[in-house]
Amino acid sequence: MVATTGYAVERVDTTTLTAEQRGEWDGLHGRQTGVGNPFCSPDWVLEWYRSYVPDASRRHLLWVRDGAGALAGVAPMYEQVVGPRRLPLGRRVVPVGYGQSTALELPQVLTTDRQARDVHQAVVRWSRDAGADWAEVSIARDQAWFEPGWVEDTTAEAPHYSHRAARACVVLPLSGSWEELRLKRNLKESLRRSRNRLTKSGRDWHVRTLEGTEVDETAVRRFFALHSARAGFEGTSSSHPDAYADATRRDLLLRLIPRLADAKEASLVELVVDGEVVAVQLALHAAGSSYVHSSGLNPDYWEFSAVTLLQAEVVRSAIARGDRFVNFSPGPNVAKMRWSERMHVVDDFAYATGSRASGLRFLAFSQLSAAKQYRHAVAQARSNSPKPPAKES
Tell me, what CATH number does 72's domain have?
A: 3.40.630
Same domain, 71 and 213: no
In this structure, the strands spanning 90-95 and 2-4 are: unpaired
Same domain, 145 and 13: yes
Into how many domains does the chain fold?
A: 2
Structural domain boundaries enclosing 194? 175-323
Same domain, 10 and 41: yes
pTM score, whole prediction: 0.89
- Distance of alpha carbon 161 from alpha carbon 120, whole angstroms: 14
Same domain, 162 and 193: no
Side-chain half-sphere exposure of 42, counting CA atoms within 13 A: 19
Find, among 134, 133, 114, the residue nearest to 124 by Cα: 134
Estimate to the nearest angstrom the gap between the alpha carbon of 84 and the chain centroid. 26
C-alpha distance from residue 304 to each of 231, 278, 314 (Å): 17, 11, 17
pLDDT at 360: 87
Q: Which amino acid is at 349?
A: F
Same domain, 152 and 180: no
- Distance of alpha carbon 39 from alpha carbon 56, whole angstroms: 19
| 3-state helix, strand and coil shares in percent for the chain, rounded to the nearest 5 | 40, 30, 30
Same domain, 108 and 210: no
Instruction: Work out the end-to-end distance of the chain between its first and last CA atoms, rounded to an integer number of angstroms.
Output: 72
Considering the domain boundaries, does residue 334 fall inside one?
no
Same domain, 314 and 357: no
Q: Which amino acid is at 339?
A: W
Same domain, 135 and 225: no
pLDDT at 280: 97
The contacts of residue 198 (CB under 8 Å, 6+ apart) are: 205, 273, 304
Considering the domain boundaries, does residue 331 fall inside one?
no
pLDDT at 83: 77
Same domain, 268 and 203: yes
Considering the domain boundaries, does residue 271 fall inside one?
yes
Judge contact between 166 and 348, C-beta under 8 A: yes
Low-confidence ranges of the chain (pLDDT < 70): 1-5, 100-104, 234-239, 380, 383-393
pLDDT at 225: 95
Question: Last residue of a domain, which of 323, 354, 370?
Answer: 323
Residue 353 DSSP symbol: E
Judge contact between 253 and 227, C-beta under 8 A: no
Same domain, 77 and 48: yes
Q: pLDDT tens across 8-45, in order?
A: 999 999 999 999 999 999 999 999 988 999 999 999 99
Considering the domain boundaries, does residue 392 fall inside one?
no
Same domain, 353 and 264: no
Side-chain half-sphere exposure of 194, counting CA atoms within 13 A: 24
Q: What are phi and psi of 231, to 5 degrees?
A: -65, -30
The contacts of residue 141 (CB under 8 Å, 6+ apart) are: 166, 344, 345, 346, 347
Judge contact between 282 and 260, C-beta under 8 A: no
CATH for 266 = 3.40.630.30
Estimate to the nearest angstrom the gap between the alpha carbon of 371 and the chain centroid. 24
